[in-house]
Structure 1
Amino acid sequence: MTADAVRYQDLRGWIDAARALGEVRDVRGATWQEDIGRITEMLHHTDDSPAVLFDEIPGYPPGYRILANANATRRRLALTFGMPLDIERRPLMDEFLRLTEEGRALPPRVVKDGPVFENILKGDDVDVLKFPSPKWHPLDGGRYLGTGVVDVMRDPDSDWVNLGTYRVMVQDRRRVGVYISPGKHGRQFRDAYFKRRQPCPIAVVCGVEPLLFIASTLEVPQGISEYDWTGGIRGEPYEVVIDPITKLPIPARAEVVLVGFLHHDKKAPEGPFGEWTGYYASGEREEPTLEVQAIYHRDDPILLGVPPNKPPYEPHRYREYLRSALLLREVNAAGVPGIVDAHCFGVGGCRLFNVVSIQQRYAGHARQAGHIAAMSRVGAYLGRITVVVDEDIDVTDLNDVMWALLTRADPERSIDMIKRAWSGPLDPAIHPDAKGFSSRLVVDACKPWEWRDRFPIAIGPDAETKRETRKKWGWILQQAVADAVREEAAAPAE
């Protein structure tokens, strides 16, 4: 079965399309206090788990729903991008790079009205507690309405509209806390407003279709709006309406949007929150609060829930394709020849452990590729280890990568360290009083250039041969698993 274009227009359309493929499960009666977070964690850590639509959440009207685990499988990611549903890893990466080539971006189309304005709450009617925001992790400092969230902001010095995913915690019925990591585009915008003692306009979109959400979580080029980037992928302008309060463009078919302003002198405790590193990494701090001036929402609204969990969780599963593709693009764009493949491992949050494979062409080639990969825009933020391997290594196979590292790298000659690199409060390995910088390890796990021709010949097939074997003979493994499942089911209970 194939999907050759992005056919859905909003989150509801995506759910209908995924449901038609048998990819959606309905769960009724799960509590926001505990059940939804626990179920989502289970889904995140189970391969090929379905998307789940939570409804009839106790304390809320039927129809006030939460979608979780949307893009956690390659099949649903292909649906999101309008690609063939059976697409394999590298073709998916290549098609993603084609869809996001320079020059494809399309500015959004401003329309006068949209479903997002079906309900407009202002003044005393503003109440963010009317939505079933879960407590995603037991030790979170509060309920997080914004996890699968798109925060819309504008550069105070230009017309650049940026969409980023910055967590949003409920403070009370009219206020939410917004945390933005240092260095992120939204943080740069916010700090520029605050430096001038000006209010920072922001629109918090809490229910949006998965493609725009993905855009807000990736490294879209500097100065390019995620609306334009998404329009280029869809092949048509993204429809937005102008919020009359902040003058920001918001998705016309969004489910829930909060609008208002951040102020430099209005803060409240935010956090702790279970983050993508697998820890309650940033503790509780004073962060700017959004005093919500208006809420717009559709009838029977749907929140998009994407809470961080111990790696890998949902975004790590799709970023293993998309961020790896972007890393490949950036290393190639830097002019490094002989780049074969790249992979950002989900176990490292697609940031902490990245691997690049090369065809060695000259002395120092591996070091060049490693340092550029480590400090490219994709690799720079909160990285840890970058490994460079030869082309015979499957960069997606952790065992293969570690085998190369342990048999081709020697600590005395193979390791470089980069000090005082870009980090942030979420890095658990840095002392709480010294957050901001971290170091990088660049490991040359290639055959030593000087005597590569004398290096022992490796046994076993190369990565491409492995893939061909599994494609032709993988049914043997599937049959073995099916037999084991039947045997277990037939075994008498103890």
Structure 2
Amino acid sequence: MSDSQIQPRLRYGDLREWMREAERLGELRTVLGASWQEEIGLAADVVIPVDEGPAVVFDEVPGCPKGFRVLINVFAGKRRNMTLGFPEHFTKQELSQAFFEHYLKKQRNIAPRIVDNGPVFENILTGEDIDVTRFPAPVWHVHDGGRYIGTGCFSVTMDPDERWINAGCYRAMVHDRKSVSLLFVVGKHADIHRQKYFSRGDRMPVVLVVGGDPLFFFAAGTEIPYGVCEFDVVGGMRGKPVELVRGKVTGLPFPANAEIALEGFLDANIRKREGPFGEWTGHYAGGSTPQSVLDIHAVYHRNDPIILGVPPLGGGSDEMARYRAVMRSAMLKQELAAAGVPDVTQVWCHEVGASRMLHGIAVKQRYPGHAKQAGVLAASCGSTVYGCKFVIVVDDDVDVSNLEELMWAMSTRCDPATSIDILRRMRTTPADPRLTPEQRAVRDYTNSRAVIDATRPFEWMDKFPKVNAPSPEVARKAHERFGYLLRERIKAEG
């Protein structure tokens, strides 16, 4: 059976089953007694940048009830493939291609099923019993403005007109026992919902879900089209309806097997300063700004609840960049095909650009302008328009997921005067450290981006100098014959 014929198999149904699978792989560690004030964040700085670093669960956090835990570093090592249901031997590019083939090309969303009860209702807290400071929400980075219970989280909201449900990943900072601020980014789906509620003078119902099936978080952190519910998408990935319960205050649905859920309302007249926070760009770019506050009316949690922590580290070294690179690359390839761009052979949204800022596209050129067509569209697609800065288009002899190969192609096949086009006033993110103070003052979240044609010019491709590297077939034979030399070196160093 070829890799393309292998069917995904998800061996877990919730976060606890996922942890058992990680333990089976030998990739789960437990740390007792680390503080939320500093040590959990420091541990994250150590293990997350290493691609093969383990998942770590923190228990017995000082000042918090025993059994209230934090889990970090889900999407790394063998866990990356396990989480999406594919074999351990798949490379990241093969994993992205498998995600494209099995979850996007064959996408069939399945509506969720509402149930009366679930593990998340094992503990129901209202009134004076509410105290979110009991959870071991860490201070992730040394200059953060507070404790962030929400990094591996998502907010459930409803469009008040069309009544569709959105689950989107927006960070959440603890303020006190009964309130957390939510950073709904301007123009994102939850913000559009918020604008609708506030424009009619209504409070906005929200359920913040912290911890649970990682697939919910991955879907919530990806550019699912407006009007499509992430719960339907995860149901399609699982091949069956996901089970949801309804909040007892707002009636909003959320996963029955969630670890923690905070239910309440946003009020247009209540804002508190949120941040600063170490952003996914690797900078404190967003500063501290007034943001909407979730007034918590009910807290639901499982026995011994688990916060899923996904702190951004920047520099392409965090798990958010890793999982989004796999998923966004597949989504961009799908969008280019849907836009009518033929023979896009490979796509990679690079981790070093947090999967948003630097994209490599490989094409098998068929006509003049083919590369430019692919590049301009890739800079503007739904999955990439937010925060993109560089799109590099190369020929199909380049592995675009290999940053060295991508830079080699750009260095040798691109003429800066004729091969680079600049697109202006494109949508970017408040987290972009290159936004000027003047732009921030008027909320001008736009940037420019470069589309770089690093292909051999189509008109004289046959005259372009040949490469001096062996063909893939010759390279394979060379490794079969002499690969033992590298293996001996690795063994000696080990």
Q: Which residue of 2 aligns with 1:217?
A: 221
Determine whether 1:401 maps to 2:410.
Answer: no
Give CA-to-partner distance per residue, 1:396-446, whole Å, 9 cap, x none.
111111111111111111011110000121110111330411111100011
Alignment correspondent of 2:188: 184
For the 8 Å contact 1:40–1:68, the answer to whether it is kept is: yes
Q: Does the Cα contact within 8 Å between 1:3 and 1:79 map onto a contact in 2?
A: no
Structure 2 Cα separation of the partners of residues 107 and 475 of structure 1: 52
44-53 or 186-195, which deviates more: 186-195
Query: 1:144 and 2:148 equivalent?
Result: yes
Q: Distance in 2 between matches of 1:47 and 1:459?
A: 32
Alignment partner of 1:426 is 2:435: no
8 Å contact from structure 2 (residues 425, 447) kept in 1: yes
Q: Identify the residue that residue 438 of structure 1 maps to in structure 2.
A: 447
* Equivalent residues in 2 for 1:375-386, closer than 5 Å: 375-386=380-391
- Counterpart residue identity of residue 34, structure 1: E
Could you tell me the percent identity over the aligned residues?
44
Partners in 1 of 2:310 and 2:458 — Cα distance? 44
Residue by residue over 1:174-225, the C-alpha shift from the partner in whole angstroms, topping out at 9 and shown as x without a partner, is 1100002222111111122122221111110011121111111112233221
Counterpart position of 1:451:
460
Q: Secondary structure at the match of 1:378?
A: coil
In structure 1, the partner of 2:83 is: 80
Flag the 1:474–1:254 CA change in 2: closer, same or farther, 3 A.
farther
Q: Where do residues 222-371 of structure 1 align in structure 2 (5 Å cutoff)?
A: 222-312=226-316, 313-371=318-376
Partner AA of 1:81 in structure 2: L
CA offsets 1:295-334 (integer angstroms, 9 cap, x no match): 0001111110001112221111122221111111111111
Q: Which amino acid aligns with 1:477?
A: L
Distance in structure 2 (CA, Å) of the matches to 1:477 and 1:301: 46
Partner residue of 2:124? Answer: 120
1:102: how far off? 5.8
CA deviation vs aligned residue, 1:285-304 (integer Å, no higher than 9, x gap):
00010111110001111110
Residues 286 and 458 of structure 1, relative CA distance in 2, 3 Å threshold: same
Contact 2:379 2:388 in 1 (8 A): yes
- Whether the 8 Å CA contact 1:381–1:423 is kept in 2: the answer is yes
**1:130 and 2:139 matched:** no
Q: Kindly state the Cα deviation for residue 468 of structure 1 after the two structures are TM-superposed.
A: 8.0
In structure 2, C-alpha distance between the alignment counterparts of 1:326 and 1:367, rounded to whole Å: 19
- How far residue 89 of structure 1 moved from its aligned partner, in angstroms, is 3.4
Could you tell me how far apart the structure 2 residues matched to 1:320 and 1:21 are?
23
What's 1:477 paired with?
486
Residue number among 72, 94, 99 corresponding to 2:97 in the alignment: 94
Report deviation, 1:346.
0.3
1:463 Cα offset (Å): 6.5
Superposition RMSD in Å: 1.8
Tell me: CA distance 1:263–1:451, structure 2 relative to 1, closer, same or farther (3 Å). same
Whether the 8 Å contact between 2:182 and 2:291 is mirrored in structure 1 is yes
- Point out where structure 1 has 5 or more consecutive residues left out of the alignment: 486-494
Q: What's the offset of the Cα at 1:124?
A: 0.8
SS of equivalent residue, structure 1 residue 380: coil
SS of residue paired to 1:264: coil
Which segment is superposed worse, 54-63 or 301-310?
Answer: 54-63
* Partner Cα separation in structure 1 for residue 471 and residue 321 of structure 2: 26
Q: Secondary structure at the match of 2:439?
A: coil
CA contact (8 A) 2:145 2:276 kept: yes
The one-letter code of the counterpart of 1:314 is: E
Q: Distance in 1 between matches of 2:257 and 2:477?
A: 43
Residue type at the aligned position of 2:347: A
**Could you tell me how far apart the structure 2 residues matched to 1:307 and 1:472 are?**
44
What amino acid sits opposite 1:93 in the alignment? S
Cα distance in 2 for partners of 1:246, 1:23 equals: 39
In structure 2, what is the Cα distance between the partners aligned to 1:34 and 1:6? 35
Question: Is it true that 1:461 corresponds to 2:470 in the alignment?
Answer: yes
Q: CA deviation at 1:104?
A: 1.1
Whether the 8 Å CA contact 2:112–2:241 is kept in 1: the answer is yes
Partner of residue 488, structure 1: none
The superposition leaves residues 427-477 of structure 1 with CA deviations (integer Å, 9 ceiling, x where unpaired) of 101113304111111000111122211111011135687678668866643
Distance 1:124 1:274 in 2: 32
Q: Decide whether the 8 Å contact of 1:71 with 1:210 is kept in 2.
A: no
Q: What one-letter code is carried by the residue in structure 1 that aligns with 2:456?
A: K
SS at match of 1:281: coil
Letter in 2 for 1:417: I
Q: Which residue of structure 1 aligns with residue 3 of structure 2? A: none
| Structure 1 residues 55-83: Cα deviation after superposition (integer angstroms, max 9, x where no partner) | 1111122211111001123x212211222
Q: TM-score, normalised by structure 2?
A: 0.94
| TM-aligned CA distance change 1:354 to 1:471, over 3 Å | farther
Q: Secondary structure at the match of 1:245?
A: coil
SS class of match (2:391): strand
Conserved? CA contact 2:207–2:254, under 8 Å: yes
Work out the CA distance in 2 between the residues paired with 1:469 and 1:166: 49
In the comparison of the two structures, how many residue pairs are matched?
483
Q: Distance in 1 between matches of 2:475 and 2:179?
A: 54
Residue type of the alignment partner of 2:426: A
Map of 1:490 onto structure 2: none
* Corresponding residue for residue 210 of structure 2: 206
The correspondence for 1:30, drawn from 34, 46, 57, is 34
Q: Residue type matched to 1:133 in 2?
A: A
Mean Cα displacement is larger for which, 53-62 or 373-382? 53-62
Can you give the 5+ residue segments of structure 2 that lack an aligned partner in the other structure?
1-5
User: CA–CA distance in 2 between the matches of 1:126 and 1:181?
Assistant: 27
